[in-house]
Amino acid sequence: MATFGTLSDRLTSTFSALRTKGKLSPADVDGTVREIRRALLDADVALPVVKDFTAAVRERALGDEVNKALNPAQQVVQIVNDELVGILGGEQRRLQFAKTPPTVIMLAGLQGAGKTTLAGKLAKWLKADGHTPILVAADLQRPNAVQQLQVVGEQAGVAVYAPEPGNGVGDPVKVAKNAIKHARDKQHDVVIVDTAGRLGVDAELMKQAANIRKAVDPDEVLFVIDAMIGQDAVSTAKAFQEGVDFTGVVLSKLDGDARGGAALSVASITGRPIMFASTGEGLDDFEPFHPDRMASRILDLGDILTLIEQAQKSFDEEDAKRTAEKFATDSFTLEDFLAQMQQLKSMGSLKGMLGMLPGARGMKDQLENFDEGELTRTEAIIQSMTPKERQLPKLLNGSRRLRIARGSGTTVTEVNALVNRFEQAAKMMKTMAKGGMPQMPGMGPMPGMGGGGGAATARKAAAKKKGKGKSRSGNPAKRAAEEAARAQGLGSGAGAGASGSSFGLGGGAPAGDKQPTAEELEALQKFLGR
């Protein structure tokens, strides 16, 4: 997540220096805590929060839980992770719905925080969850605020209650009050009230917001705050808490490149939980806030559960089964490849998804240089083929490839590269479908993730290896199994993955070498259908 990128880089760099130490001295702990303090202050985290945070980390790091740990550096990372979860609110807090509909949700915050767009995001998220929300245009002061909400509502596919034109015309308290009756009449079970903001906190803003709250008696008052606002985040949150009060916080613009650490302070300073986060400009760039998952992202330990949830929303279970059968029977075609790629695109930004993998900060340069337009070019190439060519790639001779390149606005080299990638992917997935675990470029074996058939194949390959030195099979699947067996033989049994990153990925390990939790493994195995 870009907003916390600098903080994440600083913290992971600090922890990497600890890995070489078998035991931590008080001086090591003090040095680490000092670096953590600097990183938090540079990220704009409020000073009182930084003091409490570093004091708690230091006390625990000097205690017995680190002194007696087999891996002291990993234990320190776990302590920092626990304390980060604490300042982010501890546990996730869900929306409280009214026993008798409609549930009323009031949005408050400064002008420019992104309330109107966020109202549409929240409405779309609720609609996808089976609710029938309605947006209420109670911001009658900002120019064209009513029209903007109507556009956002249309994009989200939800109704908008806007009886007044706005632009200084109309009574927002009356609009909000009448909206409740309108929602009951039209059987909307959630009412989202978009209120006016100001460029700064003033008495008039607070009075109007307080009057709207009194008139509609909301079940939730969500304070929307710009994650890039800096130290003003704390003073603004305090002012709204005293003037209107709120039940939860929504962080907007978490995709920005500012330091953004002040957002970490809001939950701790106000005692109100962060409930949602807006992670981009699109209406789908919105997610419930999980303190533990956000802490893991900041420490570069990955966020596998969120990644799986996004995948489950986009991939149909029946389609996945049919695709798996095609992999196993060698009938996977470029048409299927195109369909899978389009489903992948529907999940959102690939950079964002890759950023949720453990150790993603170590691939920072690769992620920044990753061209998401490559998927669009791949689509164009496949769509420039005839149906028969998509079914039988072997038909693609030189003249056909030239035609496809011209039709898709690409080069013959790009067409050749796509066909080669498809053939490699098909072979790899066929191996996986039969229970094997192929060796992927730049990635070590994945202990515990292969099926029984893959393990048996690996054992046979290992047995053959003893008598035949380092011979390599000509069969790709068999060769992959042999290489996996050789790699496992160099590790230390079940703990081989511990020296690498989470899930046994090769390369630089993320901070603390965090292993996947039982919950993450269960969710991942369920998603993979194992």
Q: Can you say which residues are annotated as belonging to the binding site?
A: 109-116, 194-198, 252-255
C-alpha 106/C-alpha 119 separation (Å) is 9
Angle at 126 between CA 164 and CA 268, to 5 degrees: 95
The H or E element containing residue 108 is strand 103-108
Summarize the annotated binding site for GTP as residue ranges: 109-116, 194-198, 252-255
Q: Alpha helix locations (H) across 315-437?
A: 317-329, 334-346, 350-354, 364-369, 373-383, 387-391, 398-408, 412-433
107 three-state secondary structure: strand
Handedness of CA 62, 67, 68, 73 (dihedral sign): positive
- Residue pair 246/108 in contact by the 8 Å Cβ criterion: yes
Provide DSSP, 261-321: TTHHHHHHHH---EEEEE-SSSTT-EEE--HHHHHHHHTT---HHHHHHHHHHHS-HHHHH
C-alpha 128/C-alpha 63 separation (Å) is 47
**Residue with structure tokens 């911001």?**
139
Helices then strands, counting H and E runs in the chain, come out as 24, 8
Angle at 265 between CA 263 and CA 271, to 5 degrees: 115
